[in-house]
Amino acid sequence: MNSRWIFPFAVLLGLALWSLGTVEVPQAAGGAPIRAGDVAWLLTATGLVLLMTPGLSFFYGGMVSTRNVISTMLQSFVALGVISLLWVAFGFSLAFGHSFYGLIGSPFTYLMFRGVGVGTDAALAPTIPLLLFAMFQLKFAVITPALVSGSFAERVRFSAYLMFMCLFSIFVYAPLAHWTWHPDGFLRQWGVLDFAGGTVVHMSAGFAALAGAIYLGPRLAHGRHAPTQANTPYVILGTGMLWFGWFGFNAGSALAADAVAAQAFATTNTASASAMLAWMFFDGLRGRKPGALGACIGAVVGLVAITPAAAYVSVPHSILIGVVASLLSNMAVHLKSRSAVDDTLDVFPCHGVGGIVGMLLTGVLARDVGLLSGETTIFLRHLMALLIVSGYSFSMSLLLFKVTDLFVSVRVTPEDEAIGLDISQHAERLALVPHSEPAIVTTGTDSLRASG
């Protein structure tokens, strides 16, 4: 028997037994009428956001070496299981429970989903069941630690990652969600605008990823040879799933089937499209061939950047947000590649920088209250929030890596890293069909055509 898994198994068993003593409460506080159209849209949006995490699995899995594809994909996918149970137990309560000075929710408000029923809550979800609101927010909580995993892919111990994921959700994600989205959260009270998670999801994940890349150190093979991705079609598939699911991520955050959702839907698509093209064209200007990987990364950066602004800016403004975020993230990826920091899948340059750009441009472009409208208050509050969120996410995540390391080594041994995490952590191997087509030898104009 492997003693390492006794504690997590005991926790799971304890949750199962604890559930025997809970009583279902069918009606939450409130009593406003439920709107069937809003319920239908939020059920759909919740499913769309859930799809994003498997999409992230393909997106990340296609960019690592063949000996680490399964482990990398599982690091994203397993969040669906871990965070779902944590959210029911007390995660939702920490994020949206009764506020403690605008800093954190009481863990007892919705402990084991007590009081999370089919009725409405005037403050959180006035036209849909509170239970549906909780499940929609769950999907945001699921994908955030999964995003972080890309920074230390190919060298993290799986059991340590599970522990860090729980700690991150409790001590980083839940407080940020409370600050930003709870009616009494202090950033919400300041007027900070984060429509769908640019601060809560992407900035927190980006700075946690930077902390993880620094703490774990570079991979053994980092800098020795040019990295090669295992399966570019996986990346394209993952990007398509993310783009599709992001409509639920952003438009669903309207919490209603209304004009706000339609606005967020349109800006989301437009920002992603402009960012994808900007990344490709910028690569071309720098003498690189526009590739599928760059197009996919650019599209995701656009989705990241528009997230906080989706319902607050016009569709034309979303083009600007996508282009600016894409160019700055592209340059950040280039600068990171010349540094000693081994952020495996460029989580900070894409999600961290993209989230920062989106947050600041929201303060500039937001209708009626942005800097472009002659107002300075919201922009200055966004600058303050940027400093608070980035400092807190980075420092707390670094501390959580250290705490995790006290209980189980965060990094695998050099031997395990050399044979790959698929084998060393999961005893599984990716079965790939060998490429048996003969090399094509070209001459003259054929060689020019082959080279693009």
CATH number at 283 reads 1.10.3430.10
d(CA 16, CA 399): 30
**Quick check: is 368 in a domain?**
yes
b/e sequence 376-408, b meaning 16+ C-beta within 10 Å: eebbebbeebbebbbebbbebbbebbeebbeeb
What single-letter amino acid sits at 82? V
d(CA 95, CA 124): 11
Query: How much is the pLDDT for 222?
Result: 78
**Quick check: is 152 in a domain?**
yes
**Quick check: is 438 in a domain?**
no
Note the pLDDT tens digit of each residue in 312-331.
999 999 999 999 999 999 99
**Quick check: is 7 in a domain?**
no
Given a contact cutoff of 8 angstroms between Cβ atoms, the answer to whether 182 and 175 are in contact is no
What residues form DSSP beta bridges with 105? 99
Query: How much is the pLDDT for 7?
Result: 76
The percent of the chain in helix, strand and coil, each rounded to the nearest 5, is 70, 0, 30
Note the pLDDT tens digit of each residue in 97-145.
999 999 999 999 999 999 998 888 999 999 999 999 999 999 999 999 9
Query: How much is the pLDDT for 441?
Result: 35
**Quick check: is 281 in a domain?**
yes
Helix, strand or coil, per DSSP, at residue 151: helix
Number of H helices, E strands in the chain: 20, 2
**Quick check: is 160 in a domain?**
yes
**Quick check: is 165 in a domain?**
yes
Helices (H), 169-314: 174-181, 186-190, 204-216, 232-251, 259-285, 292-306
- Give mean pLDDT, residues 358-382: 96
CA 294, distance to chain mean position in Å, is: 19
- Residue 24 clears pLDDT 80, i.e. is over it: no
- Residue 35 clears pLDDT 90, i.e. is over it: yes
- Split at pLDDT 50, 70, 90, the class of 440 is very low
What residues form DSSP beta bridges with 411? 156
Number of domains in the chain: 1
- Residue 146 clears pLDDT 80, i.e. is over it: yes
* Domain that residue 397 falls in: 22-427
**Quick check: is 450 in a domain?**
no
Note the pLDDT tens digit of each residue in 201-256.
999 999 999 999 999 999 998 766 656 677 999 999 999 999 999 999 999 999 99
- Split at pLDDT 50, 70, 90, the class of 423 is very high
